[in-house]
Amino acid sequence: MGCWLCKLPNSQRSWGEIEKEESEMAGKTRSEASSSTRTANTNSINHNNGRGESKVVDCGRNRSSCGYCNSPGRTSISHGLWAHSLTVNDYQDLLDRGWRRSGSFLYKPEMERTCCPSYTIRLKAGNFSPSKEQLRVTRRLQRFLDGELDSIKPRKLAEEANASKRTRSCADPGVSSSAVKECLSSNNAEKNKGEKFLQSLTDKINNVVHTCSESGEFPNHFQLPKASVKKVSQGKRKLFVEGSETLLYSSNIAFQIAAAIKRAEPGMQDVHQSGVSNDRVDEKEFSAKSIAEKLAISLNQLAETSGLSIKACNGHINFYSASNQDYLDGSAEFVAISEGSCAGHDSEVCSSENSFKHSPVKRRRLEIHLKRSSFDPEEFALYRRYQIKVHNDTPDHVTESSYKRFLVDTPLIFVPPTNDGTVPPCGFGSFHQQYVIDGQLVAVGVIDILPRCLSSKYLFWDPEFSFLSLGKYSALQEINCVKENQIHCPSLQFYYLGYYIHSCNKMRYKATYRPSELLCPLRYQWVSFDVARPFLDRKAYVVLSDCAILQDGESSTPNASEQVIELQHDDITVEDSNVLMHQNEEAADPEYQTSDDESGGESSDPESAQRENGDISNLLVGLKGTCMKYKDLQRAIRPTERDYLETQLHRYLRVVGKELGGRMIYSLG
């Protein structure tokens, strides 16, 4: 793990022996260290609002094979920390310095050295503008929930099968033409029943309109328009459904009446003769919404509507079925298939056709549950199936222990809700967001909810539902989650999508969640992706904070078009994105090879050099259950041992920064 004790020349001796040899020095600094410990702990806890303290072990530089460019050598270079505990405030600040986590392991790419520079990418949820493709994903899943998506192919297959059967029937001398005619006649009869029912609803609305006109509720000096009732398609029902009722039919007659009254108003001479006030017609009284409400009340009082409930909704008159059945798509009362109307082969033709045309549509229910990170056997079973089928992992490779280490274990200290506007109702910490359709777990998103963002970590889903693009859909839901929680916690504004790797085409889909920003790897400032993109097209590693200045000074900057990015996004499957994410998380596993070799060019940038040689005296160092500032510990360490430790501390300070270095405890054991 890079613990400095293991590297000291006399590390074979216990700390007790070292302290005994230097008892005088230790005694002299003990009281100072005690005071420093109390101060350090107080400062750390105060900054985190009493949310605990962060304790990390420096794992040093790590080299591994790259899951993005698949280079043969260990060309992926990052710095690693192992977190025993981590406050949400500290992890938020680590994210804003380019860190990520895999379980309890934290890693940060060394951007100038690694083969595939990885930029932290985020977007402000309130400014999110979905693309056409992202909207299509939402509509596709809604169609699936409405029962439309998976009924398209069976209907086509049925039509082809029926056409084939009709051909065979005509060629079969054993089938009478009269039987076929009887079957077709039955179909026409069922269609006529549906049309008659719609006409009956139309007549009832017209009768009520006439009654309202005669009673003076509506002006009667001119002809009012006639009503029309239409069946509501499955795709539009979600806009109107209330409770457990199902919207079946709707009429927009109220809009037509309101328009007719508005047109006639200027020419009205004796409005009082119609029973309406002498004053100008009240626009609110004769708005489409108020007219629809009047008609709905009258219809419920005066008309027999065959068991349908009638409600006004934003100017529409809607007819609902409390039984959750479509009166024209499966109700036995209106379009039941007559038994015995077909015989022999003809019965096969008729029943097959009607079973797809008139069978009740199966609606599905999607539930999204947010739970704190913990092991769930059902989730693990889904993860195992996903890894084996999507990523082609061998069954013996997908174990409970690896799953827990990867997606369940978390160093984040949970912060419960406070109801004071500083913490959302779900709290801060690590969570699993479950997607359940009709009681079946189909996807799980692993996320961290932090003071300023929701950080997306991983998603796994049921391979049987790959056609729903659950990876893209879950991202849209997580963006909505940020918006919803921002009401309760105003500081929670951003959605972090992990790392963006411009040199890897299959990772560019993340930039389609617009408007996105990339984190500058040098100054840790956020830069618009649109500003950074032309420079990333030319070079993998870029100091993004300089891009705006460079862009102003260059007249001929290459500019990738929006269409190119959108096409790239359309070509990417959820499998591609998850494979890459999975490879990246595996590369961050603490068991991979580490290296403390500091050879190789360090940054020549003056700011980087200054950070490298920064003041380490105020770093918090943990030892034997206590922590103190390094300046109070260094006198108890021999000069030869101190040199090595200070080299490690300077490197640690460079990757975490002064503020975090003064809050997080650098554990020595």
Taking the alpha carbons of 222, 228, 229, 232 in that order, is the dihedral positive or negative? negative
pLDDT, tens digit, for every residue of 374-430? 999 999 999 999 999 999 999 999 999 999 999 999 999 999 999 888 999 999 999
Lowest mean pLDDT across 56-60, 246-250, 401-405: 246-250
DSSP one-letter code for 315: T
Q: pLDDT: is 485 or 48 the higher one?
A: 485
pLDDT score at 614:
82
pLDDT over threshold 60, residue 441 = yes
pLDDT score at 564:
32
Q: pLDDT: is 5 or 288 the higher one?
A: 288
Among 383, 436, 412, smallest CA distance to 582 is for 383
Q: What are phi and psi of 454, to 5 degrees?
A: -105, 120
Q: Which CATH number fits domain 118-145+366-519: 3.40.630.30, 3.20.20.140, 2.60.120.380, 3.30.920.30?
A: 3.40.630.30
Lowest mean pLDDT across 130-139, 164-173, 182-191, 541-550: 164-173
What is the C-alpha to C-alpha distance for residues 453 and 451, in angstroms, rounded to an integer? 6
The domains of the chain are located at 118-145+366-519
| Peptide bond between residue 515 and the one before it cis (omega within 30 degrees of 0) | yes
* Mean local confidence (pLDDT), 300-327: 70
Q: pLDDT: is 72 or 187 the higher one?
A: 72
Place of tokens 């997607």: 435
Where helices occur in 100-176 by DSSP H, the ranges are 132-145, 152-171
* Contact indicator for 329, 360 with CB cutoff of 8 Å: yes
pLDDT score at 199:
87
pLDDT over threshold 60, residue 653 = yes
pLDDT over threshold 70, residue 66 = yes
Beta-carbon count within 10 A of 33 CB: 22
The residues, ordered by sequence, that sit 6+ positions from 7 with a Cβ below 8 Å of its Cβ are 644
Among 661, 598, 597, 668, smallest CA distance to 637 is for 668
* Mean local confidence (pLDDT), 147-168: 54
pLDDT, tens digit, for every residue of 5-17? 443 333 333 333 4
pLDDT over threshold 50, residue 340 = no
Please calculate the CA angle 504-507-511 and round it to the nearest 5 degrees. Answer: 120
When computed from its CA atoms, the radius of gyration of the chain, rounded to whole angstroms, is 34
* Mean local confidence (pLDDT), 43-69: 81
pLDDT over threshold 60, residue 431 = yes
* Mean local confidence (pLDDT), 452-477: 96
* Contact indicator for 122, 100 with CB cutoff of 8 Å: no
The residues, ordered by sequence, that sit 6+ positions from 97 with a Cβ below 8 Å of its Cβ are 108, 524, 655, 656, 657, 660
DSSP string covering 539-587, please? -SS--GGGHHHHHHH-S------HHHHHHHHHH--HHHHHHHHHHHHHH
pLDDT, tens digit, for every residue of 25-48? 334 434 444 444 444 555 555 556
* Mean local confidence (pLDDT), 454-469: 96
Q: How confident is the model at residue 302 (pLDDT cuts 50, 70, 90)?
A: low
pLDDT score at 177:
53
pLDDT score at 306:
59
pLDDT score at 159:
52
Among 315, 411, 430, smallest CA distance to 370 is for 430
pLDDT score at 662:
95
pLDDT score at 349:
36
Mean pLDDT across the chain, nearest whole number? 76
Among 4, 58, 6, 69, smallest CA distance to 664 is for 58
Place of tokens 């379980």: 103
pLDDT score at 551:
66
pLDDT over threshold 90, residue 463 = yes
Share above pLDDT 90 across residues of the chain, in percent, rounded to a whole number: 44
